[in-house]
Amino acid sequence: MDVTDFYGIEESPADRGSNGSKRLVKNWGAQFSTQKPLGLLNHGVTCYTNAAVQAMIHIPAVQHYLVDVLQGKYKDTINPRSVSQVLAETSARMWGLEKIAHKKGGPKFINPKKLIGRLDDINCMMSEWQQEDSHEYFMSLLSRLQEDSTPKGHKLNESIIYDIFGGSLDQLVTCKNCGHVSKTQQEFYDLSLHLGTSRKNSQTEPIDKEELSAIQQQQSLDEAESKHRFSINKSIRDFFSPELIKTDRSDKSGYVCEKCKKRTNAIKRSTIDRAPETLAVHLKRFRFNGNSSSKVKQGVSYPLILDLSQYTTRHEPVLYQLISVVVHEGRSVSSGHYVSHCRQPDGVWATYDDEYINIIPEKQALRDPSAYYLIYTRLTHKDVKQGSDVVKKATNMKPTPVPSSKAPTPKSSQPPKSLSPTTKKMKSLRAGIITPSVPDPSLVQKSPQAPTSRKQKFKGLKPTNNLGNLGGKQQKRYAKDSSGNASKRFRKY
Determine contact, residues 31/382, Cβ cutoff 8 Å.
no
Catalytic residue of the set 47, 175, 257, 342: 47
Q: Minimal CA–CA distance to 275: which of 321, 324, 306, 312?
A: 312
Show contacts of 260-264: CB within 8 Å, 24+ apart.
Answer: 260/175, 260/177, 260/178, 260/180, 262/175, 262/177, 262/178, 264/175, 264/176, 264/177
Q: Give the whole-angstrom CA distance, residue 122 versus residue 143.
A: 8
β pairing state of 190-193 and 278-283: parallel
Q: What is the DSSP string of 433-453?
A: -B------GGGPPPPP----S
- 353-362 burial, b at 16+ Cβ within 10 Å, e below that, comes to bbbebeeeee
HSE-CB of 329 using CA atoms within 13 angstroms:
13
Question: DSSP character for 295?
Answer: E
Q: Which residues sit opposite 339 in a β-bridge?
A: 327
Catalytic residue of the set 64, 135, 328, 337: 337
Q: Give the whole-angstrom CA distance, residue 442 versus residue 464.
A: 5
Determine contact, residues 256/262, Cβ cutoff 8 Å.
yes
Show contacts of 382-385: CB within 8 Å, 24+ apart.
Answer: 382/5, 382/6, 382/7, 383/5, 384/17, 384/18
Q: Minimal CA–CA distance to 385: which of 8, 18, 2, 23?
A: 18
The arrangement of strands across the sheet holding 266-274 comes to: 181-188, 167-175, 266-274, 243-245, 204-206
Q: Would you call 337 a catalytic residue per the annotation?
A: yes
Please give the C-alpha separations between residue 243 and each of 69, 168, 202, in angstroms, as whole numbers.
44, 19, 10
Q: Give the whole-angstrom CA distance, residue 264 versus residue 249.
A: 9
Q: What is the DSSP string of 264-288?
A: E-EEEEEEEEE--SEEEEEE--EEE
Q: Give the whole-angstrom CA distance, residue 137 versus residue 122.
A: 8
Q: Would you call 260 a catalytic residue per the annotation?
A: no
Please give the C-alpha separations between residue 488 and each of 42, 295, 491, in angstroms, as whole numbers.
11, 22, 6
Dihedral (Cα; 456, 458, 460, 462), 10-degree rounding: -100
Q: Give the whole-angstrom CA distance, residue 325 versus residue 339.
A: 9
> What is the set of active-site residues?
47, 337
